[in-house]
Amino acid sequence: MVKIVKDELVELMGATEVELELKANPTVILIAGLQGSGKTTFSGKLANFLKTKKNKKPLLVAADIYRPAAIDQLKVLGGQIGVEVYSEPENKNAVQIAENAIKEAKSKGYNVVIIDTAGRLAVDEVMMAEVANVKAAVAPHEILFVVDSMTGQDAVNTAKAFNERLDFSGVVLTKLDGDTRGGAALTIKYTVQKPIKFVSMGEKLDTLDVFYPERMAQRIPGMGDITTLVERAQAQFDEEQAKKLEKKIRQNKFDFDDFKEQLGQIKKMGSLKDLLGMIPGLGKAVKDRTSATMLLRASRR
């Protein structure tokens, strides 16, 4: 029964992963979505992913002309990962900013341009018209719709509205480190028939994963996700260092400094709750224990 459900979930979510189209030089990627969905943070994560995993030279573009802190936030993120940010703080024309950024990328050898557009608290005509105008002006090779996976059915309605105006090429699910297991992934994929390309967890800039339907299908029924856990471990642990530590343990020379270093490496992999959720059986146990603890505290009050 579990296998049948899992196989159907995989099929519903697209069967196989879909990668970004990065052949053009520069490749223009337009980021769209509602305010608070995590667009700006995702833009930074995507730039870091392309720089470290795909050996690209990305340029981040601050095209959110409404939110005062948007430019500063993008510059902070760019500084953390060593990626240049193009901005025109005095210019209130998002189309001009995007066009000028592409000229800048061509003149300075950037091969990917990531345009972070403005969002609103709800879908409105002004917002849709602006992002549609940016799309018409720069003809992006990829349009990624960023959606907060915690918003449930509203996420599906928003995705439908954006797709009708933009015909986006892929979906990004953010905030998957919460209690949701990706139910929004099912309904969005079914409604708009567009692939989910990335899933984002947490605020750290290296917590971005390619969306694998097989792995998400295992997480939704609580079967864990061992493959992603192993990949995260491989990305953080150095094999030579691991051998040295093994030797220290065998010689009974493993001290608190070594222990602290090990904890630091585990911390880089993400929250402990998220990691335990990838191990079959443990995720549910942690959740049940958390629920029991909250009930006990409430009864004491």
CATH code, residues 2-219: 3.40.50.300
Rounded Cα–Cα distance for residues 98 and 113 (Å): 9
Q: 34, 123 in Cβ contact below 8 A?
A: yes
Instruction: Write down the pLDDT at residue 98.
Output: 93
Instruction: Write down the pLDDT at residue 291.
Output: 52
Enumerate residue ranges in the chain where pLDDT < 70.
1-3, 5-6, 8, 10-16, 152-153, 176-186, 213-238, 268-301
Q: 47, 206 in Cβ contact below 8 A?
A: no
In the chain, what are the domain boundaries?
Answer: 2-219, 226-300
H or E segment at 110? none
Instruction: Write down the pLDDT at residue 6.
Output: 64
Residue 190 sits at φ, ψ, to 5 deg, of: -70, -40
Residues linked to residue 58 through DSSP beta bridges, in sequence order: 112
Instruction: Write down the pLDDT at residue 14.
Output: 67
User: At 19, is the secondary structure helix, strand, or coil?
Assistant: coil
Instruction: Write down the pLDDT at residue 137.
Output: 92
Q: 34, 131 in Cβ contact below 8 A?
A: no
Instruction: Write down the pLDDT at residue 278.
Output: 61
Instruction: Write down the pLDDT at residue 273.
Output: 65
pLDDT tens, position by position, 89-110: 888 899 999 999 999 999 999 9
Rounded Cα–Cα distance for residues 153 and 158 (Å): 9
Instruction: Write down the pLDDT at residue 285.
Output: 56
The CA distances from residue 233 to 85, 239, 262, in Å, are 31, 11, 12
User: At 214, is the secondary structure helix, strand, or coil?
Assistant: helix
Q: 29, 146 in Cβ contact below 8 A?
A: no
Rounded Cα–Cα distance for residues 38 and 176 (Å): 11
Instruction: Write down the pLDDT at residue 114.
Output: 95
Rounded Cα–Cα distance for residues 222 and 237 (Å): 26
